[in-house]
Amino acid sequence: MKSTDKAINLIKSFEQLRLNSYLCPAGVWTIGYGHTDGVNQGMLITEKTADAFLKQDIRNAEHCVNQMGVDLTQGQFDALVSFVFNVGVQAFRISTLRRLVMSNPDGPKIADEFRRWVYAANKKLPGLIKRREKEIELYYS
């Protein structure tokens, strides 16, 4: 499956474009639309590079979700791509959320698992709370 504009717009709305590298609330160097791979302090990129990073990062998230081998609705897929984009492939692979989706994509506890992922550096972040609610809404659409 591939992400729709709903997933991409959701990601962009929460990641916000930044052309200078910055430390995110989790203490990770970040640039563009939430890109972290190979980012260092003092980096500067163009909007074109930010878009290329975004496409690459979305492809990585799509690949991770597709590897689950589960039949998903488009909304479920898009929500999971946004989630994986945000928390990372490794974190998702060992998550309870992934296990629940794999056992029953329509399971009632999935929303609760999304809501557990609202912390960065042991602090509950309002932006992550809002993002998870939007992902849940998309997941069940």
Specify the CATH number for the domain of residue 86: 1.10.530.40
Q: What is the mean pLDDT of the chain?
A: 96
Q: Residue 32 pairs with which residues in a beta bridge?
A: 18
The answer to whether 15 is a known catalytic residue is yes
Report the interhelical angle of 74-87 vs 47-66 (nearest 10°): 120
pLDDT at 25 over 90: no
Tens-digit pLDDT profile for residues 54-82: 999 999 999 999 999 999 999 999 999 99
Domain that holds residue 73: 5-139
If we measure between CA atoms, which residue out of 66, 85, 73 comes closest to residue 9? 85
If we measure between CA atoms, which residue out of 55, 32, 57 comes closest to residue 45? 32
- Number of structural domains (the chain) is 1
pLDDT at 4: 97
pLDDT at 37 over 90: yes
Catalytic residue among 15, 62, 113, 135: 15
If we measure between CA atoms, which residue out of 140, 132, 35, 128 comes closest to residue 77? 140
How would you label 54-83 residue by residue, b for 16+ Cβ within 10 Å and e otherwise?
beebbebbbebbeebebebeebbbbbbbbb
The answer to whether 64 is a known catalytic residue is no
pLDDT at 120 over 90: no
